[in-house]
Amino acid sequence: MEYEIYAGLYEEKNEGWIWTNDKSVKSGDYVQIKSNKGKLICQIRKIDDNFRNHYSKRGSGRKTFDCSKNIVVVSDHYRDKLGGINTGKSYSLEIKKVTSWHRKMLAMLGHPNDVIKISIVLAIISCSLGIIGLILGVIGFVT
């Protein structure tokens, strides 16, 4: 499906979501977005009146958008992951809902905020060490 690409808000540059008016997904869903040059997994926020008013408020220098078209408002971090797509142009993107927990964890590993990336890596290491400890404990108990 063709989507018009708009620049993400500066104050949301380290957030792990993009905004869209796509009716096939709900706000808060994790989705995989594919372009012909790249793909990513992130969280979706739905464009509503509040977002539109904030995005295009007077003096912000940002364009107003036509919600009769398919729109994606995305930060430079995620635009780069999609293959360096540019704002102000239309691109063919495939947006599909992600339901598996391990794919949602991949979204955290690709998050623009380093604190989130470090947290998920530490969580994976902790769980791995816990499983190893459990296995060694069971082996020690059995033998």
Segment 120-134, tens digit of pLDDT:
999 999 999 999 999
- In the chain, the amino acid numbered 111 is H
- In the chain, the amino acid numbered 85 is I
pLDDT (average), residues 75-100: 90
Q: Does residue 40 sit within a domain?
A: yes
pTM, full prediction: 0.79
Residues in the chain: 143
Q: What is the domain range of residue 126?
A: 113-143
Dist CA 10 CA 113 (whole Å): 14
Q: The CATH number of the domain where 72 resides is what?
A: 2.40.40.20
pLDDT for res 94:
93
Is there a single domain that holds both residue 92 and residue 132?
Answer: no
Which pLDDT tens digit goes with each residue over 43-87? Answer: 999 988 888 888 877 666 667 777 788 999 999 998 999 898 888
Which pLDDT tens digit goes with each residue over 13-52? Answer: 888 888 998 888 888 899 999 998 899 999 999 988 888 8
Report whether pLDDT(141) > 80: yes
Closest CA to 106 of 96, 126, 120: 120
Is there a single domain that holds both residue 57 and residue 95?
Answer: yes
Looking at every residue in the chain, the average pLDDT score rounds to 87
Query: H-helix or E-strand containing 139?
Result: helix 114-142
- Percent of the chain at pLDDT > 70 equals 97
| Bridge partner list, 10 | none
Q: Does residue 104 sit within a domain?
A: no
Rounded to the nearest 5°, which phi and psi values hold at 43? -95, 150
Is there a single domain that holds both residue 44 and residue 72?
Answer: yes
Dist CA 91 CA 74 (whole Å): 13
